[in-house]
Chains A and B, each alone.
Chain A
Amino acid sequence: MSDGMKRRTFLKVLGASGAATATVGCSTGQIEKLVPYVVPPEEVVPGVPTFYTSTCRECPAGCGMHVETHEGRVTKVEGNPDHPISHGNLCPRGQAAPQGLYHPDRYTGPSLMEFGVNQPRSTTWQQAETAVAEAIRTAPRGSVVYLTGGYTGTLDRLATDFANAIGARRVDWAPLEDTPRDLRFADADLLVSFGADFLETWGSPVDYAYQFSQQHGYNRGRRGKFVWVGPHRPLTGINADLWIPTRPGTEALLAQALAAGGDLSAVAAQIAPEKPTEQDTQRIATGLRTLGEWWGSSARKVAFGPGYAVRGSNGEALRQAVDRLNGRATAPAADARPMLQLIEQMRAGQIKVLLIDAPNPSYSLPGGLKFAEALQKVPTRVSFSSFPDETSAAATHVLPQSHFLERWDDYIPQPGVFELVQPAMKPVFNTRAVGEILLGISRALRVTPTPGFTGQTWLDYLRASWAGRAGSQAAWDTALRRGGVFAENGRGTQALGFTALDRQAQPAAAAPAPAQAAPATPAAGAAAVAATAAQPAVVNAPLAPPAQVPAPPRAVAAAAYQPPRYEGEADGLHLVVYPSIRFYDGRTANRPWLLELPDQVAKVSWESWAEVHPDTAKAMELEQGDEVDIASPHGTVRTRIYIYPGVMRGAIAMQMGLGHEAFGRFTAGVGANPMKLLGGTVDPASGALATSGVRVKLTKTGRGNVTRAFPQGLVEQGVRVQHDRRISQAVGVTALMQLDQKGPGIIPGEDQHIHQLKGAGGFVPEATTTDPAAYPPAGTNYGEYIENETRWAMVVDLARCIGCAACVVACYAENNIPVVGPTEIRKGRELSWLRIERYFGVSRHEEEALRDDATDDVRFLPMLCQHCGQAPCEPVCPVYAAYHTPDGLNGQVYNRCVGTRYCANNCPWKVRVFNWFTYQFAEPLNWQLNPDVTVREKGVMEKCTFCVQRIHEAERNAASEARAVRDGEVVPACVQTCPTEVFVFGNIADPTTAVAQAARSNRGFRALGELNTQPAIVYLKKVTLHEPRNGGHDAPPAAKGGGTEHQPQEGHEPAMQGGH
C-alpha cells in the first residue's frame, strides 16, 4: 500500500479486494478480517456498483462517460448514452482511463527540490504552495509564465484571472487540440480527408467514428464513399475506398483544385513523388479521375483537414481550401509563435518562474526547438503533472494534479456543450485539482484571482461559475446526472436509424443509463468519495459564466499555395509523423493496456516502427524488423523497419507517442520518438507548427528479427493475407442489392460451398445457414443446447468496423485480463479475449499484401469466442472445465481447469488463451480489478464469456422482478463501448430480438462456418464499392506489384479448391 493512500480508501478496497486473489484456495482456509465502514456512505450498497456521470479528459474530444465504482473504487468507465458526443461509446484511450488513475508511477504527493540538492523532497501542500508563491513574489515583473494546455470553461477563466492577479503571462500550448469537433457528416455521400485521421485523434474521434459508421456502413443500398488524401494511410486512411497518395505539403494544391472545380489531373504532376514510378502516375491518375467523378456525382460532401501529419508550410492554405469545400469557417491551427518566443526567452534566461500544465512539452515539442535545454535555464520550474514525465522530471517543484476521475472540473468541447467532471472516488494519492492548486497559491500570495469570489474550494469556484447555467441545487443535480448541460440528446437526433440492427442497438446500449445514472447526485458523489460528505454550498455571489463559445477565430490572411520546401538532403525520404490512436501525442503512452494493444494497422505492441513502401525497402535492401537509424538535420532516432504498402514511395512514416526517456516503468526503453527529427519551423501564414517537410536518411544498423529461443525484435501479430480461408468476407454493393431482391437470410457462399463438398464426394455437413430459426433443429439436444431456451448470440457488422479496438480495451477492463508484457507478447501469448484481425489480402500469397492496392480493401475482423452450438473445445476437456451451458454459452470454469490446453488446440478460431504464468497487477493497478470476475492464476485456460457476469446480473434483476430478461438488457463490455456500434447482442432464439433480426441478412456468414460447429456469432460481410476478392481461386496471384485500383471479380465464388 503506497503511502499516499488514505486508510479509509484502503478499507473500502479491502471490501472487494477478494477478487484480487487467485482461483485456488479453499473455502474455509485463512482467517480474514471484515472491517465495516465507520459511517456508511448513503446510496452505496456494498457489493453493488455505483455509477457516476463524468467527462473523459484523455483527449480534447470530451466524451461523456459513466464511471462504475465498487465500494469507492473506480473499476470501469463507459460511455454516457445521453451524451451528444460519446453516444454511449468510448475509444481505446477513454477505456484505459482507470489505468491512468491507478498508475503505479503517479506522484504520491507534492515535492520540491532545494538549491543544490538534486533529489526532490516530498512535502506538504501547504509548504509546496508557499514555496511556489515565494518564488513568484520574488520574481521580477514579466518573468513569470504560466504554460497551459487546452483549458476551456471555468479552469480557463480561473487560469486567466490567476495569471493577471499574480502578474504572470499565460502561454497556451495544445498542439492537437485545434481541430473542429462539431462537424456533421452522418448523411454525407462523400467524405474527403486531407490527412485528417478523424477516426483516431483529429477532432472528436468517438463522435466522428459514430457518424462515419452511419455514413460509410451499409444502409439499404445506400453506402457513402470516403477518399483519403495524404502521403500515408493510418487507420482512418485504410477505412477509405480510395487513396490518393500525395507528396507531403502538396495536399493543399488538390484541395484548392477541388474547390476551384477545375480539372484535377492538372495537379497530378505536383502531388506525385519527385521520381514517380509507372504505378505512381497510373495510381494518381486513376485516383484523381475517380475523385473527380465522385465529387461531381455526390450531393452532400464533407472535407476534413488538415491532418496533423500533413501540416507543412501549406497547412493554412489547406485549411482555407477545406473551409471553402465545406462552406464553413473553422479556427486556424494553434499559433506556435508565442511558444517559440517563450523558448527564446527561457534560453535567454529572462524567465524566472515557469508554471507548467501543458502536455509534456519536453517530449512533444519538435527536437529542433530544444525545449528541455531551455527549461534548464529557468530557476523555478513548477510542474502540475500527475505523472513523472520528461518535463516534470526537470521540475524543481512538483504539485501533482488529480486524475480527472477524482476531481471536480468542467469542460466545453464544442459550442453549446457544457460538461461537468465529477470525482468518482477519493484521490488515490495526495493530489489536487489544478483549480485547487491555483487557489492555494493565490491564497499563499494573498491575492483573490477573481474579484467577487468569496468561496474557499475549487468546487465553490466551479459552482459559482456555473451559477448562471445551473444555479439551483436541483439544476446542478440534473446537470451532474446528465454529465453537463447540452441541447441535443445523444442518440435521438443523431441516429439515422437505418437498419434494424441500428434501431435495436440503441436501447441496448442505452439500457444502463436510467438505473445507473440515477444515484449520481453530488450527494452520492461526495458521499462515495469522502465518508463525511460536505454538501457543496451554493455561493451567493455568482460569477459570470465562462464564454459560451470558444474565442472567435483569429483573423488570418488568405494563404496562397507555395511549392513546399523540404529540409534535409534532397535524396532523403519524406518523413511523415502522425499521432497515434493509442497514445495520442504520447500522453497516454504509459497505460499498460494501450501498450499491450497491438497497433490498429501495424499490429505491433510494445514497440515503435518506421513504415516504408515495399519498393523503397527493396531499393534500400531493408527487411521487416531491420534496425535503422533515421537521421534528420535535427536529430537521430533508432527504430525498426515495417514494410507497408500504405505509405507512398519515397516516404517514411513514424507514429508519435513512444520513445520516452522518463515516463515511468512501462515505457522505459520502449520505442522511439519521431518528434526529435522535426525542426519546429512554423507555417508562415498561421504560425502553426509544421510537422511535415523534413527529409531523413536511413542507415541500417542491424538485422532485426533474430529468432533465438523465441522471436525477438519487431514481431507483427497475425498474418497479412487470409490464406484462402475466407474468414473475413466482403460483398460488392451491387451484388448485395441483387441478393436483397431475392429476400433475406440467404448465404450464397456457404450453400454453394456445401454443394461443392457433395460434388467432391466429401462428407456433407448440415447446411450452414445463419438463420437463427434453423438452429437448433427441432427436437434435438444439439450441442447440449436446450430447445426453446435462451441462446445468447452476437451479430458483428464488418461494414461498420473501423478496427479501432476500443472493444479490446473494454474487454481487458471488464474481465480482469492481465497484461503480459513485451517478452511474452513476442511469444504470441497475449491474453486478449477479443482481437481485431486485419487482412490486406485474401489469397495465400504474401505478395498480395505488398501490392499498391493492398490497402484499398482492408478487412477488419473482431475475433472472439464463437460460442459454438457444438463446440470442439467442450468434448475434449477431461474435467468439464469447458462445457456447454443450457443458454448456449461455452462455459469456462477457471477453478476447474487443470490446463491440458487441448481445448485451445481444438479451437479452430484460436480464441482460447492460456495463463502461462500468474501475472501481476502492479499496486495500485489491482484496485481496478472487477470484483464480479475471478482473477485467474497460472495454468488456467480462459476466453471470452460474453461477459457472463453481466448476463447473470441481468438475470438476477429479472428474477427478482419475476420477469424475463428484456432484449438489450444484457450488454457485454465490447458491445457497450464500440464507437461504431458494430455489435448486436441478445437472445437469438427469440425472433423478435435485435440480434435475431440482424442475423437474417444477406451479408450474414459465419467465420469457418463450413466446420458446422454452429457458432453463435454471425458476421455481416463488409460492403465494398466494387466486387471484392474473396479468397480461393478468384485471388489473382499473377497481378503482383502494380495492378489497378480494383479488379472487378466474382465475389461469391466459393474458395474450395484453394491452393495447389
Chain B
Amino acid sequence: MTKLLRMAALALLPVVVAASCRPYRADESDGPDQPIAFYHSVHAGDNKMPCMYCHYTADRSPDAGIPSVQLCVGCHVPASSAPTSLRGQSALAFPKVKGTAQKPDSAWHKEGLKLVDYWRRGEGIPWVRIHKIPEHAKFPHSSHVNVGLQCQTCHGPVQEMKKVYQFSSLRMGWCIDCHRGNQKLSEPEEAAVRSRSSFVRRLRALRAEGGDIRGQQATYPNQRASTDCVVCHY
C-alpha cells in the first residue's frame, strides 16, 4: 500500500514541477557569471551613473534596452568611434579609477581587454539574461518608469550588486500585489504613482461624475493600477 502511494507520488512529481516555476533565491549567489565581469556596484554604485545612462530606452519603450558595445567603449576606449578605428589597448581607460588601467595584470584590465576584443571583432556581448517575463505577459517598462517607480523597486539594490541577480519573483502574484497596492512603496514613489497612474486618475474621474466603479475602492482601497487580465495578456 505505502509502496503504491510512494510510486503515485513519484509519478505526480513531474506534474507538480511543471506546474510551478523554478524557485529563485534573491541573493548574489544566484546571479549567473557574465561573459565580462561587469560590476553594477562600480558603475551604478561607486560612480553613481544613472541607470538610464545605459538602459536608455526604459522610459520610451517596453524594453529597458541593453547598452550597445559602442556605449561601453565610449568610456573605456576613448576616441574609438568605430571598430576599425581602434588604436590598441593602450587606450583602455577606467574613468574615476586612478592608475588601474596602467597595470596590465589587474583583473579589471583583463576584463577590459575582453570588451576590446568584442569591439574589435564587431560582435555583441552575449550577456546572460536574468529578468525574463514569458511572452504571454506584456510588461511595458516605459509605463512603469513614467509613473515614477524606481528601478530598484523591482530590480533590487543593483547599485550594490557585483553580480546582478533576480531580486523579485516576477510572478503574476507579485505583479498583482503591487497593482492592488498591497506592496509597500517608498513615500515619494507612492505619491508619484497616486498622481500619475492612469488607473487612479480614471477612477477619480469616474467617481467625480458619479459613475459606478464596481466597488474598486471598497475591495482594494489603495489599488494603484489596473488588474484587468487583458492589460498584460494579449
Contacts and interface: CB of A to CB of B under 8 A. Distances in A.
Interface of A: 11, 15, 18-19, 21, 23, 25-29, 31-40, 45-48, 532, 779, 781, 786-789, 880, 883, 885-886, 889, 891-896, 932-935, 945, 948-949, 952, 955-956, 958-960, 962
Given A35-B127, A934-B136, A27 B21 contact: yes
Contacts of A788: 206, 209, 211-212
7 contacts: A23-B134, A35-B125, A37-B70, A38-B70, A39-B68, A786-B211, A945-B230
Contact of B136 (A23, A787, A948, A958): A23
B234 A952 contact: yes
B215 to A, nearest CB: 10
A789 B205 CA distance: 10
A337 B24 CA distance: 75
User: Mostly helix, strand, loop or mixed at chain A's interface?
Assistant: loop
Given A781-B214, A952-B234, 12 more contacts: A11-B124, A26-B21, A26-B134, A27-B169, A36-B67, A37-B69, A46-B63, A47-B62, A787-B211, A788-B212, A894-B233, A962-B196
Given A29-B21, A40-B70, A894-B233, A46 B57 contact: yes
User: Mostly helix, strand, loop or mixed at chain B's interface?
Assistant: loop
B126 to A, nearest CB: 4
Contact of B213 (A21, A36, A786): A786
8 closest A-B pairs by CB:
A788-B211, A47-B63, A47-B61, A959-B198, A895-B136, A891-B230, A35-B124, A32-B129
Contacts of B62: 47-48
Interface string B83-126: 10000000000000000000000000000000000110011111
Interface string B16-30: 000001101000000
B41 interface: no
Interface of B: 21-22, 24, 32, 57, 60-63, 65-71, 82-83, 118-119, 122-129, 132-138, 140, 142-143, 146, 166, 169-171, 196, 198, 201, 206, 209, 211-214, 226, 228-231, 233-234
B212 A18 contact: no
A179 B32 CA distance: 65
Contacts of A958: 198
Contacts of B69: 36-39
Contact of B229 (A48, A896, A949, A955): A896
Contacts of A11: 124
A521 B211 CA distance: 47
A886 B233 CA distance: 15
A27 B132 contact: yes
A352 B170 CA distance: 68
Contacts of B138: 932, 949, 952
B32 A31 contact: yes
Nearest to A788: B211
Nearest to A790: B202
Contacts of B140: 956
A550 B175 CA distance: 62
B61 A48 contact: yes
Given A31-B129, A38-B124, A934 B211 contact: no
B129 A34 contact: yes
Contacts of A36: 66-69, 124-125, 127
B27 to A, nearest CB: 15
A190 to B, nearest CB: 47
B146 A896 contact: no
B234 A34 contact: no
Nearest to A14: B124
B231 A952 contact: yes
B229 A883 contact: yes
Contacts of B211: 786-789
B22 A46 contact: no
B22 A31 contact: no
Contact of B214 (A39, A786, A935, A956): A786
Contacts of A892: 230
A29 B230 CA distance: 23
Contacts of B122: 38
Contacts of A45: 57, 60-61, 65
Nearest to A933: B234
Contacts of B63: 15, 46-47
A895 B136 CA distance: 7
B217 to A, nearest CB: 13
A779 B57 contact: no
Given A27-B171, A28-B24, A45-B57, A889 B230 contact: yes
Contact of B142 (A19, A532, A880, A960): A960
B228 A886 contact: yes
Given A27-B134, A788-B209, A895 B214 contact: no
A532 B132 contact: no
Contacts of B213: 786
A28 B21 contact: yes
Contacts of A33: 126-129
A275 B61 CA distance: 70
A26 B196 CA distance: 31
B137 to A, nearest CB: 8
A883 B231 CA distance: 13
Nearest to B23: A28
Contacts of B65: 45-47
A27 to B, nearest CB: 5
Nearest to B234: A948
Q: Which residue of B67, B122, B171, B196 has the most chain A CB atoms within 10 A of its CB atom?
A: B122
Nearest to A949: B234
A956 B142 contact: yes
A21 B135 CA distance: 7
Given A27-B21, A893-B229, A935-B135, A37 B68 contact: yes
B233 A895 contact: yes
A329 to B, nearest CB: 54
B125 A893 contact: no
Nearest to A932: B138
Given A33-B128, A532-B82, A893-B230, A38 B214 contact: no
A48 B143 CA distance: 13
